Amino acid sequence: MSDNTLEIKNLHVEVEDEKILNGVDLEISKGEIVALMGPNGSGKSTLAKVLMGHPAYEVTEGEAYFKGENIFELEPDERAHLGLFLAFQYPKEITGVSVSNFLRTALNSRRDDDDEIDPVEFQETLHEQMELLDIDKEFANRYVNEGFSGGEKKRMEVLQMAVLAPEIALIDEVDSGLDIDALKIVARGINELTGDDMGTLLITHYQRILDYVEPDTVCVMLDGKVAKKGGPELAERLEDEGYDWVREEAAA
Protein backbone atom coordinates (compact mmCIF):
# COMPACT_ATOMS: atom_id res chain seq x y z
CA MET A 1 0.00 0.00 0.00
CA SER A 2 1.48 3.31 -1.04
CA ASP A 3 0.94 6.74 0.51
CA ASN A 4 0.37 8.05 -2.99
CA THR A 5 -2.72 6.00 -3.72
CA LEU A 6 -6.34 6.08 -2.68
CA GLU A 7 -7.30 2.45 -2.78
CA ILE A 8 -10.97 1.53 -2.85
CA LYS A 9 -11.58 -2.14 -2.17
CA ASN A 10 -14.74 -4.17 -2.57
CA LEU A 11 -16.95 -1.25 -1.65
CA HIS A 12 -20.61 -1.97 -1.03
CA VAL A 13 -22.96 0.93 -0.30
CA GLU A 14 -26.65 1.17 0.52
CA VAL A 15 -29.00 4.11 0.42
CA GLU A 16 -32.27 3.76 2.28
CA ASP A 17 -31.80 -0.02 2.38
CA GLU A 18 -31.26 -0.22 -1.35
CA LYS A 19 -27.94 -1.59 -2.61
CA ILE A 20 -26.30 0.91 -4.93
CA LEU A 21 -22.63 -0.07 -5.01
CA ASN A 22 -21.86 -3.78 -5.31
CA GLY A 23 -18.14 -4.21 -4.84
CA VAL A 24 -16.27 -1.29 -6.33
CA ASP A 25 -12.51 -1.70 -6.77
CA LEU A 26 -10.68 1.42 -7.86
CA GLU A 27 -7.31 3.08 -7.34
CA ILE A 28 -6.36 6.70 -7.83
CA SER A 29 -2.70 7.68 -7.49
CA LYS A 30 -0.93 11.00 -7.39
CA GLY A 31 0.19 12.03 -10.84
CA GLU A 32 -2.69 10.41 -12.68
CA ILE A 33 -6.13 11.29 -13.94
CA VAL A 34 -8.68 8.52 -13.65
CA ALA A 35 -11.91 9.11 -15.55
CA LEU A 36 -14.91 7.28 -14.15
CA MET A 37 -17.64 6.99 -16.74
CA GLY A 38 -20.90 5.09 -16.90
CA PRO A 39 -24.59 5.42 -17.70
CA ASN A 40 -26.92 7.49 -15.54
CA GLY A 41 -27.88 5.70 -12.37
CA SER A 42 -24.86 3.39 -12.36
CA GLY A 43 -23.61 4.74 -9.02
CA LYS A 44 -20.90 7.24 -9.92
CA SER A 45 -22.16 10.08 -7.74
CA THR A 46 -22.88 7.64 -4.94
CA LEU A 47 -19.20 6.74 -4.95
CA ALA A 48 -18.21 10.41 -4.73
CA LYS A 49 -20.68 11.09 -1.93
CA VAL A 50 -19.74 8.09 0.16
CA LEU A 51 -16.05 8.97 -0.11
CA MET A 52 -16.95 12.45 1.09
CA GLY A 53 -18.82 11.04 4.08
CA HIS A 54 -22.37 11.94 3.11
CA PRO A 55 -24.56 10.64 5.96
CA ALA A 56 -27.28 9.15 3.71
CA TYR A 57 -24.88 6.59 2.24
CA GLU A 58 -24.05 3.53 4.32
CA VAL A 59 -20.94 1.48 3.73
CA THR A 60 -21.96 -2.13 4.32
CA GLU A 61 -18.72 -3.76 3.18
CA GLY A 62 -15.27 -2.79 1.93
CA GLU A 63 -12.66 -0.13 2.63
CA ALA A 64 -10.97 2.88 1.11
CA TYR A 65 -7.37 3.37 2.22
CA PHE A 66 -5.31 6.51 1.99
CA LYS A 67 -1.99 6.91 3.81
CA GLY A 68 -2.67 3.79 5.80
CA GLU A 69 -6.06 4.94 7.07
CA ASN A 70 -9.44 3.53 6.20
CA ILE A 71 -11.13 6.81 5.40
CA PHE A 72 -14.56 5.45 6.31
CA GLU A 73 -13.38 5.56 9.91
CA LEU A 74 -12.69 9.30 9.60
CA GLU A 75 -14.97 12.33 9.79
CA PRO A 76 -15.31 14.39 6.60
CA ASP A 77 -13.00 17.14 7.93
CA GLU A 78 -10.40 14.52 8.87
CA ARG A 79 -10.55 13.21 5.32
CA ALA A 80 -9.87 16.72 4.06
CA HIS A 81 -6.99 17.05 6.52
CA LEU A 82 -5.55 13.83 5.15
CA GLY A 83 -5.45 15.40 1.69
CA LEU A 84 -8.68 14.41 0.01
CA PHE A 85 -10.74 17.02 -1.76
CA LEU A 86 -14.25 16.71 -3.00
CA ALA A 87 -15.59 19.21 -5.40
CA PHE A 88 -18.99 20.68 -4.54
CA GLN A 89 -17.89 21.25 -0.99
CA TYR A 90 -18.37 24.97 -1.33
CA PRO A 91 -21.20 26.35 0.71
CA LYS A 92 -24.27 27.67 -1.04
CA GLU A 93 -23.99 31.41 -0.52
CA ILE A 94 -22.18 33.27 2.22
CA THR A 95 -23.17 36.88 2.32
CA GLY A 96 -20.48 39.12 3.69
CA VAL A 97 -17.65 36.59 3.28
CA SER A 98 -15.33 37.23 0.39
CA VAL A 99 -13.89 34.49 -1.76
CA SER A 100 -10.46 35.45 -0.45
CA ASN A 101 -11.45 35.20 3.21
CA PHE A 102 -13.35 32.02 2.68
CA LEU A 103 -10.40 30.32 1.00
CA ARG A 104 -7.97 31.49 3.68
CA THR A 105 -10.22 30.08 6.40
CA ALA A 106 -10.60 26.83 4.46
CA LEU A 107 -6.85 26.55 4.03
CA ASN A 108 -6.16 27.25 7.71
CA SER A 109 -8.68 24.64 8.75
CA ARG A 110 -6.56 22.12 6.85
CA ARG A 111 -3.40 23.20 8.63
CA ASP A 112 -2.42 22.72 12.26
CA ASP A 113 -3.57 25.41 14.70
CA ASP A 114 -0.09 26.81 15.28
CA ASP A 115 0.67 26.84 11.57
CA GLU A 116 -1.80 29.37 10.15
CA ILE A 117 -0.77 30.86 6.85
CA ASP A 118 0.62 34.39 6.87
CA PRO A 119 -2.01 36.70 5.29
CA VAL A 120 0.49 38.27 2.91
CA GLU A 121 1.79 34.90 1.86
CA PHE A 122 -1.79 33.76 1.35
CA GLN A 123 -2.58 36.69 -0.95
CA GLU A 124 0.46 35.82 -3.03
CA THR A 125 -0.56 32.19 -3.32
CA LEU A 126 -4.10 33.16 -4.18
CA HIS A 127 -3.04 35.57 -6.92
CA GLU A 128 -0.62 33.03 -8.33
CA GLN A 129 -3.34 30.39 -8.54
CA MET A 130 -5.84 32.86 -10.02
CA GLU A 131 -3.37 33.80 -12.70
CA LEU A 132 -2.67 30.16 -13.46
CA LEU A 133 -6.37 29.48 -13.84
CA ASP A 134 -7.03 32.70 -15.73
CA ILE A 135 -9.43 34.04 -13.13
CA ASP A 136 -9.97 37.78 -12.88
CA LYS A 137 -8.39 39.35 -9.75
CA GLU A 138 -11.62 41.09 -8.86
CA PHE A 139 -13.19 37.69 -8.24
CA ALA A 140 -11.35 37.36 -4.91
CA ASN A 141 -13.33 40.25 -3.43
CA ARG A 142 -16.77 38.98 -4.29
CA TYR A 143 -18.99 37.30 -1.73
CA VAL A 144 -18.91 33.52 -1.95
CA ASN A 145 -21.40 32.27 -4.52
CA GLU A 146 -23.62 35.34 -4.16
CA GLY A 147 -25.12 35.87 -7.56
CA PHE A 148 -22.54 33.57 -9.12
CA SER A 149 -23.32 32.18 -12.53
CA GLY A 150 -22.84 28.45 -13.13
CA GLY A 151 -19.45 29.20 -14.64
CA GLU A 152 -18.42 31.32 -11.66
CA LYS A 153 -19.38 28.56 -9.24
CA LYS A 154 -17.12 26.26 -11.22
CA ARG A 155 -14.34 28.82 -10.99
CA MET A 156 -14.87 28.97 -7.23
CA GLU A 157 -14.65 25.20 -7.01
CA VAL A 158 -11.50 24.96 -9.09
CA LEU A 159 -9.90 27.86 -7.22
CA GLN A 160 -10.70 26.17 -3.94
CA MET A 161 -9.01 23.04 -5.21
CA ALA A 162 -5.97 25.04 -6.31
CA VAL A 163 -5.60 26.83 -2.98
CA LEU A 164 -6.16 23.78 -0.78
CA ALA A 165 -3.69 21.79 -2.87
CA PRO A 166 -5.17 18.38 -2.11
CA GLU A 167 -3.38 15.12 -2.79
CA ILE A 168 -6.38 13.33 -4.26
CA ALA A 169 -9.16 15.36 -5.88
CA LEU A 170 -12.54 13.82 -6.54
CA ILE A 171 -14.55 15.74 -9.06
CA ASP A 172 -18.11 14.81 -9.88
CA GLU A 173 -19.14 16.62 -12.99
CA VAL A 174 -22.78 17.49 -13.13
CA ASP A 175 -23.88 15.50 -16.11
CA SER A 176 -25.96 18.14 -17.76
CA GLY A 177 -26.06 21.88 -17.84
CA LEU A 178 -22.34 22.49 -17.85
CA ASP A 179 -21.63 24.92 -20.64
CA ILE A 180 -18.46 24.76 -22.64
CA ASP A 181 -16.79 27.60 -20.71
CA ALA A 182 -17.41 25.87 -17.40
CA LEU A 183 -16.05 22.62 -18.83
CA LYS A 184 -12.92 24.40 -19.94
CA ILE A 185 -12.44 25.92 -16.49
CA VAL A 186 -12.68 22.53 -14.84
CA ALA A 187 -10.40 21.00 -17.47
CA ARG A 188 -7.81 23.70 -17.02
CA GLY A 189 -7.83 23.24 -13.27
CA ILE A 190 -7.42 19.50 -13.57
CA ASN A 191 -4.63 19.78 -16.14
CA GLU A 192 -2.73 22.46 -14.20
CA LEU A 193 -3.04 20.80 -10.82
CA THR A 194 -2.69 17.09 -11.51
CA GLY A 195 0.96 16.18 -11.13
CA ASP A 196 3.43 14.60 -8.76
CA ASP A 197 1.55 16.11 -5.82
CA MET A 198 -2.04 15.42 -6.88
CA GLY A 199 -4.13 12.72 -8.49
CA THR A 200 -7.64 13.21 -9.83
CA LEU A 201 -10.75 11.12 -10.09
CA LEU A 202 -12.93 12.74 -12.71
CA ILE A 203 -16.47 11.42 -12.74
CA THR A 204 -18.33 12.14 -15.93
CA HIS A 205 -21.22 10.76 -17.93
CA TYR A 206 -20.20 12.40 -21.15
CA GLN A 207 -17.03 12.07 -23.13
CA ARG A 208 -17.13 15.85 -23.77
CA ILE A 209 -14.77 16.99 -21.02
CA LEU A 210 -12.26 14.38 -22.17
CA ASP A 211 -11.72 16.51 -25.26
CA TYR A 212 -9.90 18.85 -22.87
CA VAL A 213 -8.50 16.46 -20.26
CA GLU A 214 -6.58 13.37 -21.24
CA PRO A 215 -7.11 10.66 -18.64
CA ASP A 216 -4.44 8.06 -17.90
CA THR A 217 -7.08 5.48 -17.06
CA VAL A 218 -10.74 5.19 -17.99
CA CYS A 219 -13.04 3.10 -15.80
CA VAL A 220 -16.62 2.23 -16.58
CA MET A 221 -19.17 1.88 -13.80
CA LEU A 222 -22.11 -0.42 -14.49
CA ASP A 223 -24.73 -1.38 -11.92
CA GLY A 224 -22.59 -0.31 -9.00
CA LYS A 225 -19.38 -2.00 -10.10
CA VAL A 226 -16.35 -1.07 -12.15
CA ALA A 227 -17.04 -3.29 -15.14
CA LYS A 228 -14.18 -2.26 -17.38
CA LYS A 229 -10.84 -0.44 -17.27
CA GLY A 230 -8.76 0.87 -20.14
CA GLY A 231 -6.85 3.80 -21.54
CA PRO A 232 -8.10 6.97 -23.29
CA GLU A 233 -9.16 4.90 -26.31
CA LEU A 234 -11.87 3.36 -24.15
CA ALA A 235 -13.54 6.77 -23.76
CA GLU A 236 -13.53 7.19 -27.53
CA ARG A 237 -15.17 3.84 -28.04
CA LEU A 238 -17.85 4.73 -25.48
CA GLU A 239 -18.46 7.97 -27.33
CA ASP A 240 -18.95 6.08 -30.60
CA GLU A 241 -20.75 3.00 -29.39
CA GLY A 242 -22.36 3.84 -26.05
CA TYR A 243 -22.36 1.51 -23.05
CA ASP A 244 -24.31 -1.53 -24.31
CA TRP A 245 -21.26 -3.44 -25.48
CA VAL A 246 -19.67 -3.11 -22.02
CA ARG A 247 -22.83 -4.53 -20.48
CA GLU A 248 -22.81 -7.45 -22.96
CA GLU A 249 -19.13 -8.10 -22.35
CA ALA A 250 -19.65 -8.03 -18.57
CA ALA A 251 -22.55 -10.48 -18.83
CA ALA A 252 -20.64 -12.90 -21.05
Q: Which of 118, 140, 142 has the alpha carbon at shortest distance from 127?
A: 140
Q: What span, in angstroms and rounded, lies between the C-alpha atoms of 237 and 37?
A: 12
Binding to ligand ADP by residue 46, rule CB under 6 A? yes
**Closest distance between Mg ion and the C-beta of residue 44, in Å?**
5
Q: What span, in angstroms and rounded, lies between the C-alpha atoms of 231 and 34?
A: 9
Binding to ligand ADP by residue 174, rule CB under 6 A? no
**Chosen residue from 42, 100, 204, 217 binding ligand ADP by CB under 6 A:** 42
Count residues near Mg ion (CB under 5 A): 2
**Closest distance between Mg ion and the C-beta of residue 50, in Å?**
13
Site string for Mg ion, 106-145 (x = CB under 5 A): ----------------------------------------
| Residue 15 or 74 with smaller CB distance to ligand ADP | 15
Count residues near ligand ADP (CB under 6 A): 12
Burial class (CB in 10 A: 0-12, 13-18, 19+), 72: middle
Q: What span, in angstroms and rounded, lies between the C-alpha atoms of 102 and 136?
A: 17
Burial class (CB in 10 A: 0-12, 13-18, 19+), 240: exposed
Q: Which of 207, 152, 202 has the alpha carbon at shortest distance from 181?
A: 152
**Closest distance between ligand ADP and the C-beta of residue 177, in Å?**
14
* Among 42-50, 122-130, 133-141, 206-214, the segment contacting Mg ion (CB under 5 A): 42-50
* Among 40-48, 72-80, 158-166, 230-238, the segment contacting ligand ADP (CB under 6 A): 40-48
Binding to ligand ADP by residue 36, rule CB under 6 A? no
Cα 189 to Cα 74, 156, 160, 241: the distances in Å are 27, 11, 10, 29
**Closest distance between ligand ADP and the C-beta of residue 151, in Å?**
22
Contact 175, 206 (CB under 8 A): yes
**Chosen residue from 10, 56, 149, 249 binding ligand ADP by CB under 6 A:** 56
| Residue 19 or 137 with smaller CB distance to ligand ADP | 19
- CA 92 from chain centre, in angstroms, equals 18
Binding to ligand ADP by residue 15, rule CB under 6 A? yes
Tell me the one-letter amino acid at 195.
Answer: G
Cα 138 to Cα 12, 37, 240: the distances in Å are 45, 36, 42
Binding to ligand ADP by residue 109, rule CB under 6 A? no
Binding to ligand ADP by residue 44, rule CB under 6 A? yes
Binding to Mg ion by residue 45, rule CB under 5 A? yes
Residues lying near Mg ion in the complex (CB under 5 A) are found at 44-45
Residues lying near ligand ADP in the complex (CB under 6 A) are found at 15-16, 20, 38, 40-46, 56
